[in-house]
């Protein structure tokens, strides 16, 4: 069955995480992705050697692509890219703002020669902003955007444990490219897409910002709790298991008070009757739930939550994810062997889309040169 992006040609001058995440999704959807790598390769190749000799990040994000190893400072290699772009549908790049132009590949000039091209530039900070020239990696943006200040335990901030700024920006770029392609289907013309990591996370930080600017209160760090919904935290059972129990409304609090805590009158107690009141009495509320959970084994605590219609989750480590009954996997070929990865989250008519293989550095250079030689 044909994939939705079959026949589309994507050229990506990319490295690390954000742009490769975006183009990995394009490849999964059927696009042909030509990944232009510097002579030493995408530096993410050298992060580690965990995945059968390859980098975990690189194997995760580069399946289904063609690797073309070029030195864009050399005229012949630059001209080859310009020739490919005359036939391309999408250009994705995440070099520092202005770097591609300095190499002689100006997206605006390329789009003038190929009006159907969708050009997507991914940067750390907006290209027209005061910080455009700063280097920007995932943790730097977590710090700069304020995300790290609301992450962690009360005594210390923390890093979100995955590259969330890169991934969020890659997803934003992917969605924007699809929007531009949909627009092209109507107008016949491509367009320019720009996505900055800082802008992406600033958008995601809207709720803490509203709480500060309009509510006059900073979002607290509450570890494995929720800053504005109580109870919504991790509690330990009698047999030493950790359960995360979370509410969404006051009706659920009434159910929890009845079925888990065993004190139905708490539903009407003014200290606990509303979420705002429970938030103001966070320690007392959490203490009531913690005491109730501590009197039950895991199975009994879960049964009480189920009876009350309350959401719960086991607090798992990565080792539990590895064997989780809901974990779907796909097997991806790499130059050094097959690697099992979590499957892409979206299924279409019951099927999972995933690119075929992770390319060795420069594996497709000669073939692409011959194809676009003139």
Question: pLDDT tens across 205-243, in order?
Answer: 999 999 999 999 999 998 999 999 999 999 999 999 999
Q: Comparing 156 with 374, which gets the higher pLDDT? A: 156
Q: Which residue, of 273, 288, 314, is where some domain finishes?
A: 314
Q: Is residue 219 part of a domain?
A: no
Segments forming the whole domain that contains residue 68: 9-205+327-371
For the cut 90, the answer to whether the pLDDT of residue 39 exceeds it is yes
Please report the pLDDT score of residue 351 as a whole number.
Answer: 79
Whichever domain contains 283, its CATH number is 3.30.1540.10
Are residues 80 and 165 both part of a single domain?
A: yes
The pair of three-digit structure tokens given for residue 260, joined into one six-digit string: 């888990």
Structural domain includes residue 81:
yes
Q: Cis peptide leading into 231, omega within 30 of 0?
A: yes
Task: Looking at the structure, tell me whether residues 130 and 260 fall in a common domain.
Answer: no
- Phi, psi torsion values for 109, nearest 5 degrees: -65, -40
* pLDDT tens digits, one per residue of 53-98: 899 999 999 999 999 999 999 999 999 999 999 999 999 999 988 8
Asked if residue 277 and residue 166 are part of one domain, the reply reads no
Task: Name the domain count of the chain.
Answer: 2
Q: Are residues 145 and 279 in the same domain?
A: no
Q: Does the pLDDT value for residue 156 go beyond 70?
A: yes
Q: Is 353's pLDDT higher than 90?
A: no
Q: Give catalytic residue positions.
A: 166
Please write the tens of the pLDDT for every residue from 250-305.
999 999 999 999 999 999 999 999 999 999 999 999 999 999 999 999 999 999 99
Whether residue 58 lies inside any domain: the answer is yes
- Counting other chains too, the contacts that 292-296 makes at CB distance below 8 Å and 24 or more residues apart are 292/260, 292/261, 292/262, 293/235, 293/236, 293/237, 293/243, 293/245, 293/260, 294/235, 294/236, 294/237, 294/238, 295/238, 296/237, 296/238
Q: Is the domain of 38 the same as that of 169?
A: yes
Task: Determine the pLDDT at residue 1.
Answer: 67
On whether residue 154 sits in a domain, the answer given is yes
Are residues 164 and 245 both part of a single domain?
no
CATH of the domain at 100: 3.40.50.10540
Residues 252 and 365 in one domain: no
Is residue 206 within 8 A of residue 150, CB to CB? The reply is: no
């Amino acid at each position: 069955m044909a994939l939705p992006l079959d026949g589309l040609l994507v050229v990506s001058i990319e490295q690390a995480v954000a742009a490769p995440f975006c183009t990995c999704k394009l490849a999964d959807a059927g696009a042909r992705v030509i990944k232009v790598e510097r002579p030493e390769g995408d530096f993410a190749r050298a992060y580690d050697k965990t995945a059968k000799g390859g980098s975990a990040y690189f194997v995760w994000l580069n399946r289904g692509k063609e690797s073309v190893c070029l030195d864009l400072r050399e005229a012949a290699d630059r001209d080859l890219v310009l020739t490919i772009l005359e036939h391309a549908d999408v250009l994705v790049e995440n070099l520092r703002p202005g770097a591609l132009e300095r190499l002689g590949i100006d997206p605006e000039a390329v789009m003038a020669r190929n009006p159907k091209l969708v050009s997507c530039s991914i940067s750390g900070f907006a290209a027209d902003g005061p910080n455009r020239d700063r280097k920007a990696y995932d943790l730097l943006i977590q710090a700069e955007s304020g995300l790290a200040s609301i992450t962690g335990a009360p005594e210390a901030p923390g890093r979100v444990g995955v590259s969330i700024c890169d991934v969020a920006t890659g997803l934003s770029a992917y969605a924007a490219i699809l929007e531009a392609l949909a627009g092209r289907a109507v107008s016949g013309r491509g367009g320019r897409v720009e996505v900055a990591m800082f802008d992406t996370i600033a958008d995601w930080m809207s709720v803490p910002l509203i709480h500060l600017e309009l509510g006059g209160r900073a979002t607290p760090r509450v570890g494995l709790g929720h800053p504005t919904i109580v109870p919504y935290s991790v509690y330990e059972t009698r047999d030493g298991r950790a359960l995360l129990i979370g509410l969404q409304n006051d009706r659920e609090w009434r159910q929890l008070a009845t079925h888990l805590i065993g004190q139905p009158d708490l539903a009407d107690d003014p200290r606990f009757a509303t979420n705002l009141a429970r938030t103001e009495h966070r320690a007392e509320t959490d203490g009531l739930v913690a005491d109730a959970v501590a009197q039950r084994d895991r199975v009994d605590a879960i049964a009480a939550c189920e009876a009350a219609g309350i959401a719960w989750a086991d607090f798992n480590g990565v080792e539990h994810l590895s064997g989780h009954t809901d974990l779907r996997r796909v097997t991806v070929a790499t130059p050094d062997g097959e690697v099992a990865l979590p499957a892409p989250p979206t299924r279409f008519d019951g099927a999972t889309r995933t690119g075929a293989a992770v390319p060795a550095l420069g594996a497709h250079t000669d073939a692409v040169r011959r194809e676009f030689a003139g």
